[in-house]
Amino acid sequence: MGVHLLQKTQDYTLGIWKMDEDEAQLLELSGMVESPGLVSPVRRQEYMAVRAMASTMGVKPEAIAYLPSGKPNLTDNTLTISISHTKMYVAVLLSSHILAGVDIEHRSDRIHKIRHKFMHSDEENSLKQLSNPISETVGLLIHWCAKESLFKAVPEDGVDFKQELRISDLATLESSGRFNGVFLRTGKSFIIDYLIQADFVLTCSFSAESR
């Protein structure tokens, strides 16, 4: 299927690629010369799909590098890049904000098993009061996804998802929307855009103070 979504806002460009192609097709679409030397076929597919999406967004595959922390960066551009992948999809975010991150998560009930690791009691209370919750599972996934994208946006190590990342102003859940988040250790505030689709949920986090 290739490009599932390509969206440009004043704060970022978001690309989502659906991986329906085989490895040979993805290799051609990615602009890479040869397949990456990864043992897992799934990881190879994700790696090439990211570069295929990035190429569509004007980023050369060879420009994507990784910091010692594992976070991606662009060697030939001042833009921030963030990458995420889940079952059948990859997401690429390009932003002029220094602090920006994206996360995409497959819709699954398994999120209930780890809610105690990332949901603060204030967030649990807010989740119960959503005017249009869609489902508890989606609500939990949005919180997890938001905190993952915040984690990718901040440079600090050892972030405690439950105690240091806080979601606020999430009053309803539609197919898409916006709420806020804060990294309590530094006090930095973030804007978080979300997207809910049949197969996945996605969030993009960025700080207006980090231009």
Distance separating alpha carbons of residues 201 and 176, to the nearest angstrom = 10
> What pLDDT is recorded for position 114?
97
> What pLDDT is recorded for position 134?
86
Q: What is the pTM of this model?
A: 0.95
Residue 8 scores a pLDDT above 60: yes
> What pLDDT is recorded for position 33?
84
> What pLDDT is recorded for position 76?
84
Average pLDDT on 179-201 reads: 97
Average pLDDT on 151-165 reads: 96
How does residue 18 score in pLDDT terms, banded at 50, 70 and 90? Answer: very high
Fold agreement (2-96, 103-210): yes
pLDDT digit string (tens) for 60-81? Answer: 999 999 998 889 999 987 899 9
The residues spanned by each domain of the chain are: 2-96, 103-210
> What pLDDT is recorded for position 211?
47
How many Cβ atoms sit within 10 Å of the Cβ of residue 173?
A: 21
pLDDT digit string (tens) for 85-129? Answer: 999 999 999 999 999 999 999 999 999 999 999 999 999 999 999
Maximum average pLDDT range among 21-25, 130-134, 179-183: 179-183
CATH dotted code for 2-96: 3.90.470.20
Average pLDDT on 5-22 reads: 96
Distance separating alpha carbons of residues 162 and 4, to the nearest angstrom = 32
Three-state SS for the chain is CEEEEEEECCCEEEEEEECCCCHHHHHHHHCCCCCCCCCCHHHHHHHHHHHHHHHHCCCCHHHEEECCCCCEEECCCCCEEEEEEECCEEEEEEECCCCEEEEEEECCHHHHHHHHHHCCHHHHHHHHCCCCCCCHHHHHHHHHHHHHHHHHHCCCCCCCHHHHEEEECCCCCCCEEEEEEEECCCCEEEEEEEEECCCEEEEEEECHHHC
> What pLDDT is recorded for position 50?
97
How does residue 205 score in pLDDT terms, banded at 50, 70 and 90? Answer: very high
Average pLDDT on 31-37 reads: 87
Average pLDDT on 141-153 reads: 98
Residue 164 scores a pLDDT above 80: yes
Q: Give me the CATH topology for the region 103-210.
A: Ribosomal Protein L22; Chain A (3.90.470)
Of 165, 207, 206, 195, the residue nearest 86 (C-alpha): 195
